[in-house]
Structures are given as C-alpha cells and as structure tokens.
Chain A
C-alpha cells in the first residue's frame, strides 16, 4: 500500500486564488483587522490591566501552589482524554454518514448538532437527570459529580464536531481506492488504517483541535456536572475574576491558558502542514445504499454510540418539557406565547426571545462567513507568513476564556468610534469570534484538497485564472462554507457565555430567557424553560436541515 499512499500525497505549489488586487487585499486585511480589533486588542488590554494589579497569587504560584498546579494538570488531561473519547465515538458515525445512504440520514446528521448548540445548563441538567434515573448518582457505579460525568458530557457535546467535520471531508474522498484494496484482499480494518486514516488526517487534526479547545476551556460542564470539587483553568478564571474580583490571578491564569492554546494550535497547524496536501477529489463518491443486512447491521453499530449518547439527553429534555401538574401535556408550550405568565421574569413574552435569537444568530453567521471565508482564502492562496498568523490567530478565540474576552471588551472598546460596550452588535461579534474558526477549519481543508492538476488542466484548456477559480475552487469552497454556516448558526443560537456575561439591552435570546426562567422557583417556569430549550433544539435541527438542502452540489469531478 506504500505506493498508493505516496501517490495520494502531492506537495503542489501554492494554488492561485482570485487575481484581483481588491480581492487579495480584502482576504488579508479584513480578517487581520477583525482579529486585531475584536480579539488581540481587548485581550491584551485586560491582561495588561489585570497583571498590573495586586492579587492573591503571583506567577510563581502557577508552578508551586499545589491547588493551582492540580487545576492546570486536570485541565490538560481531561481535555486530551475527552478529545480521544470523542474521536473514538464519532469516527465510525462519520464514516457511516459519509459513505451510506439510508432513511433518516439527514435527521441523524442534524440531531448530533443539537447538544453542541444547546446551552450547557440545559444538556447538563438533562445529563444529571439521566444519571439520577439510571441510579448512577450513588452506589457502586457513581457518575454524579465525577470526572467521568465531565468526560461523558464532553463527548455528548462535541461528537458533532467529529461527525460533521471529518464526515464532511470523508464524503469528498474517492472511495474507489478503498474498494480496490478491499477487492485485493485487505481487511476492512487495514483499509481504514492504511488508506482512510492517512487521507483523513487534515480533517481529523482540525476537528480534534477544535474539540480539544472546547474541552480545554470547558466551563459550564465543569461547574454543572463536575460538582464543587472539580476546577479547570477556565472555571478558575471565572471564579477569580467574577466572584472574587481578583483580576491579577485571573489574568495570570488567562495568560497561561492563552500560551498553552497558542502552543497547541501551532503544533496542530504544523502537523497539518507536515501532512501535506492530499488530493482526494478524483471523484466525489456518491453515498451507497445499504444493500445487505450485514451492511445494515454494521452501519447501525457504527452509528449507535453517537446516536444513543446524543438522543438520550434530548429525549429526557423533551419529556421534561411535557411534564405538567399531574401528567403530561403541552401547557408549557402554550404558556410561552403569553406575556402575562412570565412577564415579571422576562419583561417580554418568551416567544420574543426566539426572534431575538434568530436575528442575532443570522448576523453572527454572516460576519463569521465573510471574515472566516476571506481568511480561509488568505490561508490557502496568500503568502506564507500571513497564512500562518491567520491560521493560528483565528483559532485562539476558541481557546480563550469568555470571561477574559468579555472583560476585555468592557475596558478596551470604551472610546468612540469603538464604544460598543452596550451596543447590541457586540453579542453577534462575540459569537462570530467563536464561529470563524469553524468556517476556517472546514473551508481550508476543502480548498487544499483540490487537485492542482485540475487547475492546471483548466488553465491548459484556456481558462483564465478567474474562471479557474470560479469553476474549480469556488464550488468546493461554497459547499464547505455552507456546512460551516450551519455550525456557525447553531453555535450562535445556543451561545450563552458571552451573551450572558456582557450586560446587554433587554432583548433576551433563548438561552438567556431560559436561564432567567430557571432562576425562579416554581414548576411552571421550569416547564417553560424546558419547552424553550426544545424549541431551540428544533430550530438548530431545522437550520441544519435547510442549509444541507440548499447547499451547492460539488461540480468537481474528473
């Protein structure tokens, strides 16, 4: 197989992108400015301000204080283990979804995104309820408030990233190679290890990097499922900055977190580059129907872990939304439309939160697509140094504490023309920061996977560079971007951290409304919160299904 692998890897020249000067300038300038103004500047400001104050801990404590050291160590190892577990659960499902056609496939693809998009407080609550129901809260197998619960929750939340990012890439790979190898007698395992895995490495690296960053900066899951004894760097930053107003210690931890994230992202990008460009687009494989019952059983077994893990908490959530006094019913949903019932808690009928959420998410997605799309272009077509800065820099918001960023916004963006502290646009901007890495990580591997020979062939046949770009690169980019848009939209819909941290004019999004309903006693309000959560989940599924339905078909084929 050595020969086959070598043939799949070509280190082509930097592909030619759009030739117009304006386009090339925009590709570099827009993402760089966005990153500098809305990330580097606020974060630098808050770190500088925090480090200039006095606090409980100094820099040496990071390495000598037993408690801080155990926090750093726990943060790191739980993120590594969570990422590996998520990969193990998600990879088989990614393959089944990439290679096969079956009834309900679109539903499964949309379903996995739901926990990823729902606020932690909802899914975390559902997981706790499940732990309770299966009797795992006490006794010999105890999950409640343990590290196991954290790992489990991280898998449930992040499996979508593996399934969608790797699965999407997998679907673009030519499956004839697999077939030939299998016909020549290679076992399925061997085909996977020697043919699929090497070709998938760019997507796996990208997806794992994202999952790792999410777990590394995990906050809600730690507080909600880990109980009072577990702490990560992120939850400690929050505790020091928000609860203790000790900005010095918080800034120390933030700086450490940022340093670790930069090192990690740099390593991942380096790894990705070492892999080289893989040309997989010989022919985009059409997913096959499951023909034999053995094949069906195998596909079901591949999908089962992911589907069960994702569906159980969601089912529990739906059930809880239907609980009314003395049985089940739709009362909680009916109550959402009335201003009366929740007026004192929300000031607006809860259903208005749905409108606010849709609006914010749409704006955030558009910002994310424009900035992320341009950045992806700059990374693939641009000069190497620019590419590197953007490649690493744009990932950093994923690995930066929401608290650090939020405080940074508050003290950095306080002068005209950038006095955005109380403007509504700050929320979609903060959400876009989280969405951009997804756009970049999904679009870049897709663009890089385009066979240079295709471009050469088009050029030889007389196509202008613009035409080559439009007909070869653009369709692939647009297809990847639409997958990224679904992610960006889902993230923004459910985003809670930045939205709740930044004080905002009173237009609650769904997660905020839900949180407020949960902050009052009374079964009626809790029921409404659950109903809102179900609506949010349904919106996420719907958005994903719609985006998939209208995504441009790839026209790349040789």
Chain B
C-alpha cells in the first residue's frame, strides 16, 4: 500500500478542492424576473463626488471597445482614479463571465452589454443600481431598466448590407421580401444566431417583423432562396461578402459598416461601397453598469458618469461606429455623413428576448439548417 500513497494524497487534494468550492458564493437570485425590483440597495446618486483619489478600478468591456488615445487618462486627471482596462472576447463571453462570477466580479464597471443580452445579466443579479446625474441628457426610451442597474451608452443598428457594384441602380434589394426573390438567389449570407450577436439580432428582426407565427415561414423562404449561414461576423463579412473578396453580395452587418468602409479605407474611398436595407434594421442599445460586489462602488459610479460625459460620448462614433446615447454629445461630420440611425428600427422587449432565446434559436436551426 505504500506505493499508492501519492495517489491517495492526490485524490484527497481533488476532493478538498471540490469541498471548498461547494461553499463558494453563488448568491444569484435564481428565478428573478428581469425588471423586478432589485434586492441590492442602489448606489446613492451623489456618491461619485466622494470617490477617493488614488483608487484603482477596472473596466471590463468587449473586443470592439475603443476610444481615442488619452481619453481614459482624462478621467484619471480629473478624479485621481486609475482605470485598468480588461477586454473580453465578445459581448456574449463578457456577459457569461459576469454571470458566473456574479457578486465576485473581475472588474468594477462593465461597458458594452446590449439589449439582447441585458435580461440575462439582470436576472443573474450582476449589476448594482446607480442613477447617474448625467442621465438627464439621455432620452427616456433608451433607459430600459427602470432601476438604473445599467446606463445607456450608445446606439447602433444591425442591418442587412449590400455591395453596391453587384446591382444596377434601382435593382439593389430593398426589403425583407426582396431577399426571398429569385433575382437575389444565393447572394445573401447571414450569421448563426447561436454563435454571433449580429446573427441573433437579424433573427430578432425577422421575429419583430413577422411575429411569432410568421417568422419561421419567412426563414423557410430564405432557405429555399439559398441563404448562406456563417458562424461569425468575420467569416460572413471578411470571407464570404464581396468586401472581403467573397462572392456574396448581401450580408448581415451593422448600420455603420458603410461608414467604417470609408474610414478604414485610409482615404482611398470617399463614398461607401455598400448600402443598407433600412427595413431590416434592429436596434441595439449598449449599456454600462456598476458590477455588484465591486470594492469601489463610488469610484465605479464616477466612471459611469464620465462614460456618459461629452468627452467620451463625442469620441464614441469614430472609434466604435455607433451613435452616442447622450443628446449633448457632438457627432463628427465624417461619421454622420455616411451613417445614420434609421427612423423606425425593429425592436423587441429584452425580457421577451431572454425568455425565448433558446426556443427561438432551436426553432430557427430546425428551419434554416435543415
């Protein structure tokens, strides 16, 4: 038996590890509805002023987060609070990580959770309420959470884009129905709603448009018209779409993609090579929030205020290709020339989205991937 001892010791280590984790903190109030009144008390609105200099806080965000050089440093100069930036893979991964670490967050503030993921985080009790004074400048209809656990930051649309050169003038697709017509057969690529957030937004757009009864039959028509499904935005846009050298002329992307094409062309383009099908646009609102369990809620609140200030809000468009949530922010002409928000975007209630997410994607797979 002497020989076996290391093995026993090793197994014992494993069991100790298991036992330790069994008493871990998992205080997510399972079963809570998205917009139920939160049990954690709110951070007082004037608390931001009391934030102490020399504190260091962490901002977790998704991979598309970007601001001009020195923007976050301005916050440090104003308040004496250091900000460390943590980047997660994409919004989905960021929210999942926040849900599993709820109450013991890896950061103090999260930036970039959108309305399609919002209720997932709210139901898992990820955020702590904080009503920023700067909300005075934000339209009421953007403030989806009545308890201000999250604060609106920016607005964008997911829309079907098309490559202008592929179509004679006046012959480009212009509606949901066009995508099912023979002249656009095999030309449309969209993303898998279960693996890509624009893909999910487009599925939501079809549900918002055709209703719970009708969207599956629309997708059946799309399938019969040869819609291609890519697993992610990069594969769809940069591999299969004309812009990336592929042979598809229609793709699900963002309302700002045409503007991004111009800005990222390094001055070689003055007009975008792509256009939008306005009817297909689904509204995405991104939020920031103080993570529950943050050791420095007052500093975190100060950062939320700063993110909603004109300094950051005016810097958002050309860096993240979305519109600022604040009405007082300036939108650079270079951006607004090629990008605009559609007048009547499609939307769905975040609670409805969360309640049906799995059901919808599974029903979608049965129709679209058959």
Contact = CB atoms under 8 A, between A and B. Distances in A.
Given A344-B319, A384-B3, A522-B261, A516 B63 contact: yes
Contact of A521 (B84, B99, B246, B257): B257
Contacts of A274: none
A295 interface: no
Nearest to B17: A41
Contacts of B18: 44-45, 48
B304 to A, nearest CB: 19
Interface in A341-372: 341, 343-345, 347
B84 A505 contact: yes
Interface in A33-55: 36, 40-41, 44-46, 48-49, 52-54
Given A505-B84, A520-B260, A389 B231 contact: no
Nearest to A407: B100
Label chain A's interface by main secondary structure: helix
A521 B24 contact: no
Contact of A347 (B66, B246, B263): B66
Interface stretch (B87-95, B149-157, B203-211, B278-286): B87-95
B106 interface: yes
Nearest to B124: A245
B351 to A, nearest CB: 15
A16 to B, nearest CB: 18
A421 B101 CA distance: 11
B68 A344 contact: yes
B100 A410 contact: yes
Interface stretch (A1-9, A89-97, A257-265, A496-504): A496-504
Nearest to A36: B13
Contacts of A344: 66, 68, 318-319
Interface string A161-172: 000000000000
A335 to B, nearest CB: 8
B6 A521 contact: no
A411 B264 contact: no
Interface string A360-399: 0000000000000000000000011110110001000000
Interface stretch (A222-230, A456-464, A535-543): A222-230
Interface stretch (A434-442, A476-484, A523-531, A549-557): A523-531
Given A48-B22, A245-B99, A505 B237 contact: no
Nearest to A226: B231
B352 interface: no
Contact of B244 (A383, A516, A526): A526
A500 B68 CA distance: 23
Which of the listed residues B95, B96, B104, B263 has the most CB atoms from chain A within 10 Å of its own CB?
A: B96
A521 B266 contact: no
A503 B100 CA distance: 14
Interface in A394-445: 407, 410-412, 414, 421-422
A223 B232 CA distance: 9
A25 B166 CA distance: 70
A32 interface: yes
Contacts of A411: 21, 24, 100-101, 104
A267 to B, nearest CB: 18
Contact of A243 (B194, B245, B261): B194
A244 B99 contact: no
Contacts of B243: 521-523
A514 B17 CA distance: 37
Interface in B222-262: 229-235, 237-239, 243-247, 253, 257, 260-261
Interface in B10-37: 10, 13-14, 17-18, 20-22, 24, 26, 30
Contacts of A243: 92, 96, 194-195
Interface string B64-97: 1010110000000000000011111100111111
Interface of B: 3-7, 10, 13-14, 17-18, 20-22, 24, 26, 30, 58, 60, 63-64, 66, 68-69, 84-89, 92-97, 99-101, 104, 106-107, 120, 124, 192, 194-195, 229-235, 237-239, 243-247, 253, 257, 260-261, 263-266, 268, 318-319, 357-358, 369
Q: Would you list the 5 A-B pairs with minimal beta carbon distance, nearest first?
A: A522-B264, A45-B21, A228-B229, A41-B17, A503-B86
18 contacts: A36-B13, A44-B17, A49-B26, A228-B231, A242-B89, A243-B194, A243-B195, A245-B96, A344-B66, A344-B68, A344-B318, A384-B3, A385-B3, A393-B10, A503-B106, A504-B86, A506-B87, A524-B264
